[in-house]
Structure 1
Amino acid sequence: MSKTPCVLFLLFFVLLGFGQASKKSFVVKFVSDIPKIDGILDEPVWQTVDGPKDFQQYFPSDSVLAKQPTIIKMFSNGTTLYIGIKVFSNGNNWIVPSLERDFRAGGNDNISLMFDTFNDGTNAFLFGINPLGVNREALISGGGQRPETDFNTSWDVKWKGESKLFENYYTSEIAIPLTSLKFREGETKWRFQSYRFDMQTNERSVWSHVPQNQSIFSLAFMGDMVFERPLGKSRTPLALIPYINTMAEKDYVLENGSTNLKMGADAKVAIGNGMNLDITVNPDFSNVEVDDIITNLTRFEVSLPEKRQFFIDNSDLFSSFGGSRDANPFFSRRIGIATDSAGNTIENQILGGIRLSGKLNENWRLGVLSIQTDEDASNHIASNNNTMIALQKKVFARSNIGFFFINRQSFKTSDFIEPEDEFNRVLGIDYNLASQDNTWNGKFYAHKSFQPDDHQGNYSAGAFLGYNSRNFAAFSDWVYVDNDFRSDLGFIRRTDIIKSATSIERIFWPQSRWINKHSFQFFPILIWRPMLDYKKTDHDIKLSWLAQFKDQSELTVELSNQFVYLTEDFDPIDSDTSIPLPGSETFNFNVVGLEYQSNRAKALAFKGKTLVGGFFNGRLFSVEGETTVRLQPKAILSLFLNYNNIALPSPYGKADFWLVSPKVKLTFSKSIFWSTLIQYSNQQDNLGFNSRLQWRFAPLSDFFIVYNDNYFVNNFEPRYRSINLKFTYWINL
């Protein structure tokens, strides 16, 4: 066999790792001054230092300089990075919906700063500020390619930023302690990017040019910030974060209630310049925002995002293996959740745990996690140790190879533990591809599980390759999950599948007053079952048209042909009187969809989606919408509505599923926030009230009052009620 194809294949991947170096750069001077962080750039030092300027437009065009100037200046005194910002616009009608920290950038005026401190094009720290001095920070992972997974605002770190309003511009002053960042000792250069949203002129701009077909926070497009003096050792102080939580609760179904006092603590320890050690003892997550209820018409589980602070830092080291939708071997929300003897999902107390994560050196990252959960004998839940070890090696410019080992093991022998559930282990390797300019990206992985009832096989594997240019975008995604593959700490929608998902998209950039771009996409998804002689059991063939308008609104029209071969009975209505659809039957139906998103910068914004068409052997009408009213900067009022009408032929039944969810968010100041969420779902037979008052009385230190109340929807009888008073305090030792 000729070696030529192999050589060309290798050369292809090597070339993807290299490209032209960043062209923009600036120097961060060493100055011993310590300016007052009040948002006013009146200290003489700001006249002597330089920084990024000459921003490029990202929207509505990506080929001209920004019309609204942005000037950034930086210097360091060896312990702190100081940043001065001057942002211009055409007026003083700044859009600031809320005073709450960690806002999302879309639909409001703000500027963000990204620091790739290890120059790897994969991970970065982001700090943002708006015209009223509201701060936000986020961790960017995975090269910043996917907004839904690579951008995490749950991360918290100590820093300070203030803004001051003037005629047609505002200024901001920021102080970031170098101890709040991780970097290599002796480093002389970081990669840097800044992007800005200007709602008054509907312009988005970036310092280092980013094509519109790429994410605005993609780490493939950054310049350099060069330090006048090499950076010293980054030593973060030992941080201790104790908490006290008083809770009163009553379960009306089980007819029991309790009042208790709970105490615990987290600790953060820096190890060298690149590693973090997080320790938790008896953690409590009662202050975490409640999950949004979802109406689920599928046969499969739905994944929800991780919001618990302990699992956030360097979370991509653990969670980015495999395919996030079908074959994710590690899903941190599995920890602290268990299934009782009746098949119900309930909370499982975490006794404690550790997370060691970060950079070993320029090319290697390490993650070690070990969490111990408590035994709940009354619900037949064992005490488990949940451990994961992940190692990642950078290759080429922005690609990496990762290795992991997962072990979930019962801590002691109990009568209610089945032999096959004593342990579950998964071993795997992933290759993540990202070209220098992000035109090509991909993932290739192979995983194997081990458990007491081990069989031959137990594999999961996949391959993804994507191409993204200005006028064309395409990808092909293949997934294989063996029937006996099992990952107790993962998210595996179903086993015994071979899945193919391919997308081809043609993008147009018309010279239009109204439309910025529009595209046509052909997106077929097919699934085969190896255990059924590779029978095709599912397909979803989609054809869609998407338009993005100059006013930031979007419209999507979609046609879908769906095919389902049910391998077992399925009851989408799931009522006492409904009859399941029979297994071993084939269903083929068509659906038409329409989706619209208005300009989120408006005081009144709306997004809606409707589906009309077939549903197995019947019909489906679905409408979903959310209206948001902004009374800036003190209040945001929103109403979410989801309605699904399912009409199946006799004798299978009909159903009307309603999900209604109003939400009120009030920000009394930049330190006091109150939010109330009401969720009514007749599919889940629950009316829930969640109200949370937060007072941030010191940096990263909070007092919470959280009230929960839940009722059955048919008779409005109470099912569960609780109130929490929680106090946390961040102490640097």
Structure 2
Amino acid sequence: MLRKLFVLVAIVIPLALFSQTNPKTFTVKYIDDIIKVDGILDESAWETSESARDFHQYFPSDTTLAGQQTDIKMMYDNTTLYVGIRMETEGDDYIIPSLQRDYRAGGNDNISLMFDTFNDGTNAFLFGMNPYGVRREALISNGGSDNSGFTTSWDVKWQGEAKIYDGYYVCEIAIPLTSFKFKQGETKWRFNSYRFDMQTNETSTWMKIPQNQGIFNLAFMGDMVFEKPLGKSRTPMALIPYVNGILAKDYEKNEDLSTIGFGGDAKISIGNGMNLDVTLNPDFSNVEVDNFVTNLTRFEVSLPERRQFFIDNNDLFGSFGNGRDANPFFSRRIGIAEDKDGETIENGIIGGIRLSGKLNKNWRLGLLNIQTEEDEINEIPSNNNTVLALQKKMFSRSNLSFIFVNRQTFGEYDFVEEIDRYNRVVGLDYNLASPNNTWTGKFFYHKAFAHDIGDKDDSGGMDLRYNSRYFNFGVRGNFVGEDFRSDLGFIRREDIVAARPFAELNFWPKKGKLNTHGFRFSPNFIWRPTLDYQNTDYTIFSQWEGQFKTQERIAVRMFNRYTYLTETFDPTGTDDGVELPANAGYHYTSYETSFQSDRRKVFSFSLQPGYGDFYNGKRYVFEGDMSLRLQPTVFISMGVIYNSIKLPEPYESEDILLLSPRINITFNKSIFWSTLIQYGNQLDNLGFNSRLQWRFAPLSDLFLVYNDNYFVNNFMPRSRSINLKLTYWLNI
């Protein structure tokens, strides 16, 4: 009955939609002149170009024009979009943490430009630059509704230079039109820009955005009108070959893992809106190591995708379902597998293709097919992995999406059970976003198929949210059937029905040091259908949080929890430890506070201590980080997570510590050195990752990576490798 209710609500719920009025507009001039990209706007064409000006303040207030104004001019020819930006400042005391590309924008001086080339309010290209001419680019998806739709792993070729003057700085940019996707003959793109000015502690945007909305939300954009229609895209084919030599040894198994590999990717443009990515013998070795995590739960932890092949248009494939409980496609599943002992190991990829992008103004298509290698020694079959996604725009910013996921082995393997020979999932998602982003939501239903899978093989849910300046609320819930299975997805747990409503009340003081503060109440209940809908888990979350005008943040939180264990469990993860018994319930309450200092400072930090009940015992937790900026060359940071768990005898008590010191050195805009040390006694691992990167040509890199891992208790080596990798981006 609950499943039918979810689907019914998704179809018939009436929503009030509001529209944005009076968008700004400016004309992008067509030119035949030659523009030299040097940070000096001395070409005569700049003098006659229209401007995107009159920036609005976003922080600390959103009711006035910006104190430090920004003027953006654009021109274009048959191949290139030129952007000239003049930014007023109080002085030249800029905050520039690093010279490395794809920097984080918050807490330093920079400007970002967002281009919605299909005018759909859903996807956009972002290009950014700081006063030293350091560049970044990103893809924005899902309407820019949250950080999950902001992908900085995307790379593309473009030019940009900056120059500092007395009282202002200038950025001059040239972006090949081939770096965008757009409709042939288009005359208008939606556009917005946001800027951080740290000397006056001001954040500003060209289109006015209320502070209760995210600064890169695509609901708030003006228009850039081209003087002549855009022509046909002439995106060249890009070949990205690599060679990778690895000297490696696994000391636990006493195996030499040294190897040399060759392969590469190809990027082929199809029309003005589609990309075809081809990969052959891809190298998915980690030149950037994953962060360790402390996991005190009974469930798997999701880690972000870092592999370039999966990045472009990733939202087409990876944003289905509920990312917390039931995401039918999680790309990190491809390239790893469980061996015969149940351990997770790397599974080689033979090759694959990925077709993705816009078919026209209203339709998007994604098709992914990857073949993995067989490993009979470890009892891993060769699998074909296919994902098909189709998205139809509805109304102004909403869409209806279909997904089909198939994992299948075609070989005859004695070690593969019939139920594991294939797994398929089909589903529909409706993603709601009103024109001004006051209402957002998701409604989805997915069904799994496998041999003798059982009849409780579906998953569904709804997430409807209202966002205003003073009051926000959400009606959220989902279910995952006992037999629902997605081998290429992230399924945290099956056999649940969950309800997760929330309500927020926010205040915006006109006086005092606080810029905003508010309360959040968010209960989370989970029932188990196979246990006669017994309530096995709940968390009642209560919080007060405040943000100061000087950018510090402070919060106080309370957690009222109940957990009914259906299986034995040791929350400390101690090897052979005495586990808490099954079929027992635990009520426990805990508290925590947090403080985040001003990230503009040379030295900044965050603190998050907590204490309270934990199952049948007590838990003290401390999380924090601190960073030192010796700009623009050196950035040093230290992260710490400490858990002291004390359970009564005979159950386990443990002090779990995770330390993560990191040092980043940027010698210039082309040579970077990063070293990360991670000590985690829960994982019994001390890891060293040191990476030297030389960007010798645009998007072409030479990496020298040293990895070393040791057991914590006896400091004996676990594994060690030296990795020399060369990639080269070649346009044909």
If the TM-score is normalised by the length of the shorter chain, which range does it land in?
over 0.9
Q: Give the match's secondary structure for 2:455.
A: coil
- The residue identity in structure 2 corresponding to 1:241 is I
Q: Which residue in 2 is equivalent to 1:55?
A: 55
1:24 matched to 2:24? The reply is yes
Q: How far apart, CA to CA, are the structure 2 residues paired with 1:7 and 1:552?
A: 40
1:287, 1:704 within 8 Å by CA — same for their partners in 2? Answer: no
Q: Give the match's secondary structure for 1:12.
A: coil
Q: How does 1:91-240 map to 2 (within 5 A)?
A: 91-147=91-147, 149-240=148-239
CA displacement at 1:576 relative to structure 2: 3.7
Q: Which residue in 1 is equivalent to 2:424?
A: 425
Q: How does 1:296-311 map to 2 (within 5 A)?
A: 296-311=295-310
1:288, 1:307 within 8 Å by CA — same for their partners in 2? Answer: no
Q: Give the match's secondary structure for 1:333.
A: helix
Q: How far apart, CA to CA, are the structure 1 residues paired with 2:467 and 2:173?
A: 35
- The residue identity in structure 2 corresponding to 1:678 is I
CA displacement at 1:285 relative to structure 2: 2.2
Deviations 1:310-358 (A, max 9, x none): 0000000001100111111110000001111111111111111010000
- The residue identity in structure 2 corresponding to 1:134 is V
Relative to the length of structure 1, the TM-score reads 0.98
CA displacement at 1:457 relative to structure 2: 2.8
Structure 1: unaligned runs, 5 residues or longer: 1-5
- The residue identity in structure 2 corresponding to 1:714 is N
Q: How does 1:558-597 map to 2 (within 5 A)?
A: 558-576=557-575, 578-597=577-596
- The residue identity in structure 2 corresponding to 1:89 is T
2:608, 2:622 within 8 Å by CA — same for their partners in 1? Answer: yes
Q: How far apart, CA to CA, are the structure 1 residues paired with 2:215 and 2:281?
A: 39
- The residue identity in structure 1 corresponding to 2:61 is S
Indicate how the Cα distance of structure 1 residues 345 and 178 shifts in structure 2: closer, same or farther if over 3 A, else same: same
Q: How far apart, CA to CA, are the structure 2 residues paired with 1:286 and 1:553?
A: 38
Bigger mean CA deviation after superposition, 577-586 or 99-108:
577-586
- The residue identity in structure 2 corresponding to 1:614 is D
Q: How far apart, CA to CA, are the structure 2 residues paired with 1:664 and 1:476?
A: 43
Q: How far apart, CA to CA, are the structure 2 residues paired with 1:262 and 1:276?
A: 26
Q: Give the match's secondary structure for 1:516.
A: strand
Q: Which residue in 1 is equivalent to 2:487?
A: 488
Q: Give the match's secondary structure for 2:46.
A: helix
- The residue identity in structure 2 corresponding to 1:64 is T
Indicate how the Cα distance of structure 1 residues 559 and 272 shifts in structure 2: closer, same or farther if over 3 A, else same: same
CA displacement at 1:463 relative to structure 2: 0.6
2:287, 2:705 within 8 Å by CA — same for their partners in 1? Answer: no
Q: How far apart, CA to CA, are the structure 1 residues paired with 2:103 and 2:9?
A: 48
Q: Which residue in 1 is equivalent to 2:345?
A: 346
CA displacement at 1:12 relative to structure 2: 3.4
Report the RMSD for the aligned CA atoms in angstroms. Answer: 1.3
2:553, 2:597 within 8 Å by CA — same for their partners in 1? Answer: yes
1:12 matched to 2:14? The reply is yes
Q: Which residue in 1 is equivalent to 2:512?
A: 513
- The residue identity in structure 1 corresponding to 2:14 is F
2:287, 2:691 within 8 Å by CA — same for their partners in 1? Answer: no
Deviations 1:168-201 (A, max 9, x none): 2110100000011000000000000000000000
- The residue identity in structure 2 corresponding to 1:12 is P
- The residue identity in structure 1 corresponding to 2:68 is Q
Q: Give the match's secondary structure for 1:143.
A: helix
Q: How does 1:345-364 map to 2 (within 5 A)?
A: 345-364=344-363
CA displacement at 1:97 relative to structure 2: 0.4
Q: Give the match's secondary structure for 2:377.
A: helix
Q: How far apart, CA to CA, are the structure 1 residues paired with 2:340 and 2:610?
A: 38
Bigger mean CA deviation after superposition, 475-484 or 574-583:
574-583
Q: How far apart, CA to CA, are the structure 2 residues paired with 1:572 and 1:635?
A: 38
Q: How far apart, CA to CA, are the structure 1 residues paired with 2:289 and 2:365?
A: 31
Q: How far apart, CA to CA, are the structure 2 residues paired with 1:77 and 1:575?
A: 64
Deviations 1:12-52 (A, max 9, x none): 34x52x62445200000101112111111122221111220
Q: Give the match's secondary structure for 2:14.
A: helix
CA displacement at 1:477 relative to structure 2: 1.0
Bigger mean CA deviation after superposition, 31-40 or 168-177:
31-40
Indicate how the Cα distance of structure 1 residues 402 and 7 shifts in structure 2: closer, same or farther if over 3 A, else same: closer
Q: How does 1:432-581 map to 2 (within 5 A)?
A: 432-576=431-575, 578-581=577-580
Relative to the length of structure 2, the TM-score reads 0.98
How many residues align structurally?
A: 725
Deviations 1:646-672 (A, max 9, x none): 000010021000101100000001011
- The residue identity in structure 1 corresponding to 2:278 is I
Q: How does 1:28-43 map to 2 (within 5 A)?
A: 28-43=28-43
Q: Give the match's secondary structure for 2:327.
A: coil
Indicate how the Cα distance of structure 1 residues 219 and 324 shifts in structure 2: closer, same or farther if over 3 A, else same: same
Q: Which residue in 2 is equivalent to 1:642?
A: 641
Q: How far apart, CA to CA, are the structure 2 residues paired with 1:283 and 1:9?
A: 42
Q: How does 1:252-331 map to 2 (within 5 A)?
A: 252-331=251-330
Deviations 1:393-423 (A, max 9, x none): 0000000000010000013121111111100
Q: How far apart, CA to CA, are the structure 1 residues paired with 2:528 and 2:115?
A: 45
Q: Which residue in 2 is equivalent to 1:374?
A: 373
CA displacement at 1:10 relative to structure 2: 5.9
User: Percent of aligned positions with the same letter in both sequences?
Assistant: 60
Q: Which residue in 2 is equivalent to 1:389?
A: 388
Deviations 1:699-727 (A, max 9, x none): 11110001100000000000100111111
CA displacement at 1:11 relative to structure 2: 8.9
Bigger mean CA deviation after superposition, 267-276 or 408-417:
408-417
1:72 matched to 2:81? The reply is no
- The residue identity in structure 2 corresponding to 1:248 is L
Q: Give the match's secondary structure for 1:318.
A: helix
Q: Which residue in 1 is equivalent to 2:81?
A: 81
1:90 matched to 2:83? The reply is no
Q: How far apart, CA to CA, are the structure 2 residues paired with 1:485 and 1:104?
A: 38
1:287, 1:726 within 8 Å by CA — same for their partners in 2? Answer: no
Q: How far apart, CA to CA, are the structure 2 residues paired with 1:111 and 1:349?
A: 41
2:250, 2:257 within 8 Å by CA — same for their partners in 1? Answer: no
Bigger mean CA deviation after superposition, 517-526 or 281-290:
281-290
1:666, 1:675 within 8 Å by CA — same for their partners in 2? Answer: yes
1:22, 1:222 within 8 Å by CA — same for their partners in 2? Answer: no
Q: How far apart, CA to CA, are the structure 2 residues paired with 1:435 and 1:173?
A: 35
Q: How far apart, CA to CA, are the structure 2 residues paired with 1:673 and 1:189?
A: 39
Indicate how the Cα distance of structure 1 residues 437 and 339 shifts in structure 2: closer, same or farther if over 3 A, else same: same
CA displacement at 1:9 relative to structure 2: 8.8
Q: How far apart, CA to CA, are the structure 2 residues paired with 1:454 and 1:696?
A: 50
Q: How far apart, CA to CA, are the structure 1 residues paired with 2:9 and 2:632?
A: 59
1:111, 1:195 within 8 Å by CA — same for their partners in 2? Answer: yes
2:521, 2:541 within 8 Å by CA — same for their partners in 1? Answer: yes
- The residue identity in structure 1 corresponding to 2:109 is D
- The residue identity in structure 2 corresponding to 1:24 is K
Q: How far apart, CA to CA, are the structure 1 residues paired with 2:22 and 2:132?
A: 33
